[in-house]
Amino acid sequence: MNSFTRRSLITRAMMSGVAVMAMTLPLAAQDLTEIRVINAPTAFEPLWLAQEEGIFEKHGLKAEIIPGGPPDAMMPQLITGQAEFALTSGLAVMNASAKGLPVQLVMGNMMSQKGTVATAALIAPADSGIDDVTDLAGKKIGITSLNNQPHLALLMSAADKGMDIDSLTFVELPPPAMVTANDKGTVDAIYALDPYMSAAIQGGYVKVEESVSLYMDGLPSVSFAAGSEYVANNPDIVDAFIAAMTEAEEYANANPERVRDIDRKYTKLDPEFIANRPISTFTPQINAGALEKVGHAMVEYGWLDTAPDMEKLIAPQAPRAE
């Protein structure tokens, strides 16, 4: 074997070794696509689990989780590129899309379902005398944001019971401040989200009605959204995000104690409550039929002129319920 051949074999072996090393390097050591995800005050556990369990990195992503405000305020952030994805209200995305804003649902996170553990409900102090939606005429109801699922569901419930829907007054409140506002008399009842809802019930509040579950069965109540232009221009990143969050939601469903760990870390709720609270199932699927039904209700109550176009509202690669 001459020296040239020997050098060639050595070079090939070295290059092969480099290739093997590249294949076996952890994803964290390779280039990751950076994304920003706006967080929500409810059903946030899978998002943090994707971060802490290395699921984002596994799918080639490096995520920055940023705090979010009201769902409607998240839509401009997606459109202007301040964030790539948002954990937000499905109804807020419907409302924005129907009004011509270029935003889309990319996957579900939590679905409203009859007969399952409720993640939100209309609640009131046990001694308030509020036992039904009909008891709210002329009273104030605290909700996390106007033109959202609880708002619409309560209007649907009131109309179903023959009430004048204009007799209901809604007040926007941050989820952690709801019980305090109710205790001070700022509002008479609240539509609380978990984990705050369950904590309030444990503290003496009573459940009046699960309006969202009753009137919006199958709706992706807490969902992930993105700007339409971003979805069209970055299909591989959107696919990776959906794959990562689907895995994170499955992990959360299989590991309820890790969900509780996230609650302990990112909320100020009582540790004993966290240890015993019911945990709902997370799901990535989007139910187009449920979205259409709610879209027609939004038109009926004057929120929209026309119902959302499902082809514009739902991203092409979004997982759908059969």
Dig out the tokens for 171 from the structure: 């007040």
* End-to-end Cα, the chain, rounded Å: 65
pLDDT of the residue at 3: 45
- Architecture label for domain 120-215: 3-Layer(aba) Sandwich (3.40)
Dig out the tokens for 281 from the structure: 């199932």
Dig out the tokens for 208 from the structure: 């009046």
Domain range annotation of the chain: 27-111+219-313, 120-215
State the Cα angle at 66 between 229 and 290, rounded to 5°: 55
Which one of 3.40.190.10, 3.40.50.300, 3.40.50.410, 3.20.20.120 gives the CATH number of domain 27-111+219-313?
Answer: 3.40.190.10
Q: What are phi and psi of 80, to 5 degrees?
A: -90, 0
Ranges of H-type helices in the chain: 3-24, 45-52, 55-58, 71-79, 90-98, 149-160, 178-183, 196-202, 211-215, 228-233, 235-254, 256-266, 271-276, 288-300, 310-313
Query: HEC profile for 166-205?
Result: HHCEEEECCHHHHHHHHHCCCCCEEEEECCHHHHHHHCCE
Dig out the tokens for 235 from the structure: 């299909």
94-130 pLDDT per residue, tens: 999 999 999 999 999 988 876 666 778 999 999 999 9
12-33 pLDDT per residue, tens: 444 444 444 444 444 444 699 9
Global pTM reads 0.76
- pLDDT digit of tens for each residue in the chain (322 aa)? 544 344 444 344 444 444 444 444 444 446 999 999 999 988 999 999 999 999 999 999 999 999 998 898 999 999 999 999 999 998 899 999 999 999 999 999 988 876 666 778 999 999 999 999 999 999 999 998 888 889 999 999 999 999 999 999 999 999 889 999 999 999 999 999 888 898 899 899 999 999 988 888 888 889 999 999 999 999 999 999 999 999 999 999 999 999 999 999 999 888 988 998 888 899 999 999 999 989 999 999 889 999 999 999 999 999 998 7
Dig out the tokens for 221 from the structure: 């109540």
